[in-house]
Chains A and B, each alone.
Chain A
Amino acid sequence: MVEVTLWGALGQLAGGKSKVEVEAKDIRELFRKLAEQYPGIEPWIEKGIAVAIDGTIYRDTWSKELPKGAEIFLLPRLAGG
């Protein structure tokens, strides 16, 4: 079980929660279970969500494992120049 912190807009789609607990071993499973639990989040996952694991931001590596006790933070997927 990992604790996942959601940013504001995503939290609104999870019933106003800023943190949720999800049983997931990697980012792919995390997204799948979040979409199951909170269907409103699914379109955001499709558009792109970044996942910060202990401060390192991952945008596309859905196979990235979520270590036990790691800080998992969801962030908007941003553009660069």
Chain B
Amino acid sequence: MNFDPRFSGRKFASVGTRPIRPDGIDKVTGRARYGADFNMAGQLVGRILRSPHAHAKILKIDTSKAEKLAGVKAVITAADLPDLTDGDAAMYDVLDNCMARSKALYDGHAVAAVAAVDASTARQALKLIQVAYELLPHVTDVDEAMKHTAPLINDTIFTEGLEEKPVKPSNVTKRSQFGHGDVHQGFGHADFIVERSFKTEQTHQGYIEPHACVANVSSDGTADLWVCTQGHFVYRQHCAQLLGLEASKLRVTSSEIGGGFGGKTHVWAEPVALALSRKAGRPVKLVMTRDEVFRASGPTSATSIDVKIGARKDGTITAAEATLRYSSGPYAGTWAEIGAMTAFACYKLDNVKTVGYEVLVNRPKTAAYRAPSAPMAAFAVESAVDELAKELGMDPVEFRIKNAAQEGTRSSYGPVYGPIGIGPTLEAAKTHPHMKAPLGKNQGRGMACGFWFNFGGQTCTDLNIGMDGSVSLAVGTVDVGGSRASLSLVAAEELGIAYEQVKAVVADTSSLGYNDMTDGSRGTFSSSMATISAARNAIKILRDRAAQMWDIPVDDVVWENGHAIAKGEKYGNLAALSLKEIAAASGKTGGPIAGHSELVADGAGVSFATHICDIEVDPETGAARVIRYTVIQDAGKAVHPTYVEGQYQGGAAQGIGWALNEEYIYGKDGRLQNAGFLDYRIPVCSDLPMIDTQILEIPNPNHPYGVRGVGETSIVPPLAAIANAMSNAAGVRMTHIPMSPPRVLAAIEAEREGRA
């Protein structure tokens, strides 16, 4: 790679405009093809049998009756997905999660699967599979799971990260620690200290489209997978490894995606569909029901967090400390570690310490959820920060501005910050009209900040120029939020042509080099860098072809505004050649014109946001409604501002649902009680106000256009912003998310009765 990613400060013609997205018409007319919309001749219907028990030994699985049922073409168990992970513990966990081996580890854990000629036969076959279980004691609560008396979920787990190697197994898989300075000394200098414990319940990403795929394994060892995913190249790697296929012989095509938010970064049913197809010798379509999505695909962690923050009378924070316990399902994770890194990242702290504990529970395997782990940590920290501001008698925005991290600040997770945007988002909040708007009865206003890292990663892009001068852009990052429009704008910008001349597609795994998935807010950041690089490579060829057409040296040809121009007075009579003219002549100047790029897009800038929220609380029922909401976030550079705003609004909407309603509710039997959208209530349009947005553009020095990721940070502040608004509206400090009506009402009544 010979590509300079540094910010150039150029002026833009296309970037920053708001054209209609190229996938829009298909989506609103129902023509877009999602995971379940693909069909193959002779395809079978796949269905999965799931454990009804939270924790149980699998003594025996008898599939004989199911196999004899007319119309059943394959029945599989873990025996059909043997362990090929070669000591890779993380992949072994993925395999075990796809199909339980010796134990069912949560309600909904897959234990067997069938492929049949139709859905009715497949469902009937599942009922004929007999599984003998030996029930084991279970634990679903993160705090309970940490107790020495808790049932052990995996007796081979010994806590990592302790100074002394433990002698007994534990549900705590890992301890991590971050910080600097001396918090004990720092608290000694504090005039005010706030110390609180918080809990957040487990939530699901809540994507509208369930997991769906069609798998076809041929007898010659080749295979196809059509699937709804955030990363088809990663799915290819994982499926190939788990099934013993050669990656190059497994072609994975990503469908349109009806939401992912981290939940589609992980294989769940795809290896099962491939294994069924391999056994049946026919294509298999496998679509999860909503019940299965909730019970068996990745929710976020449930957490329990203790926070302590001290400040001097002048408002300077002297020390901050947090202990964070995050559930990871029945498999090891690093979710508390991320929470520990992000918790205090907004602040300039001389003394800070965070400790994270990863905790096994009998719940589904935790998956990433939009800025994973950061919203819960921010809820705890920003609630305590707000309370401390109140104790100090300071305005909460001023208190945060006084303590905000800035360029040169040592971050709470270690390194010193470069140019960052927390200060500007707070200053924008301070002057935003929302902060001065009047409030009515039972209404309150809250605000909070949030941080997310943002990532880059491996990226490969092709840009092909047709003989008619139209441009096709093939990218390998799945479009989850409008990136095809953004990347078309970037190609148009570089080539100096109209947006409408560019058509971006997401290419399959056999058509491009490897791409990391669309996670970590990397889609537009990474693929725009690769698109810029590919376009510049194409321009080199366009200049060369123009030079041939003019019969002059290529060094005398420059590219400006979509045209090759012969520079110098001696070429004064040569009219500029448009891209279209050069493309039309390409057959006689060397053949097709294309630009390719493969690179690692690194140096994604960290991102900050400040949110302002007004809520109204009904003191008789505890029901709360968000009546006004404002998101202020640094985008670096908004390539397509409408879709940046959409990301801001989407993150806020999900955060509002998480804050007020959403939670996994488990019974004493360890079974999920609300595996459907009727009982697990995500916000719909009528629940939400128009979410106002303000885009700040503080350029990322490590991207030619200054782009930062924007997809995740917007979900970090809402839990705390709403909790702080609740505190101001109802006079109760809520320490348990979600702030559902019964919880709020209980807190209001306790406050009234002086029990708080």
Contacts and interface: CB of A to CB of B under 8 A. Distances in A.
Interface of A: 5, 7-9, 12, 52, 54-61, 64, 71, 73, 75-76, 78-81
A14 to B, nearest CB: 14
A54 B370 contact: no
Contact of B418 (A9, A54, A73): A54
Interface in B315-364: 334, 337-338, 341
A80 B176 contact: no
B372 A81 contact: yes
Contacts of A75: 341, 413-415
Given A8-B176, A54-B416, A55-B415, A80 B455 contact: yes
A79 B604 contact: no
Interface of B: 160-161, 163, 176-178, 205, 261-263, 265, 334, 337-338, 341, 368-372, 411, 413-418, 453-458, 519-522, 600, 602-606, 701-702, 712
Contacts, number: 101
A60 B604 CA distance: 12
A4 B521 CA distance: 28
B419 to A, nearest CB: 9
A79 B520 contact: yes
A58 B453 CA distance: 11
B337 A76 contact: yes
B415 A73 contact: yes
A81 B480 CA distance: 11
30 contacts: A8-B178, A9-B161, A12-B161, A55-B411, A56-B603, A56-B701, A57-B606, A58-B602, A58-B603, A60-B600, A61-B600, A61-B603, A71-B415, A71-B416, A73-B414, A75-B341, A78-B338, A78-B455, A78-B520, A79-B334, A79-B368, A80-B262, A80-B372, A80-B521, A80-B712, A81-B205, A81-B261, A81-B262, A81-B370, A81-B520
Contacts of A61: 600, 602-603
Contacts of B600: 60-61
A77 to B, nearest CB: 9
Contacts of A81: 205, 261-263, 265, 368-372, 519-520, 712
A64 B603 CA distance: 10
Nearest to B521: A80
Nearest to A55: B418
A75 B412 CA distance: 12
A79 B338 contact: yes
Contacts of B371: 80-81
A56 B606 CA distance: 8
A59 B413 contact: no
A78 B415 contact: no
A59 B455 contact: yes
Contacts of B205: 81
Contacts of A59: 455-457, 602
A80 B602 contact: no
Report, nearest first, the 5 A-B pairs whose CB atoms are least far apart: A80-B520, A81-B262, A52-B415, A81-B368, A73-B415
A75 B338 CA distance: 11
B161 A7 contact: no
A54 B522 CA distance: 21
Contacts of B416: 54-55, 71
Given A58-B602, A71-B415, A73-B415, A78 B519 contact: no
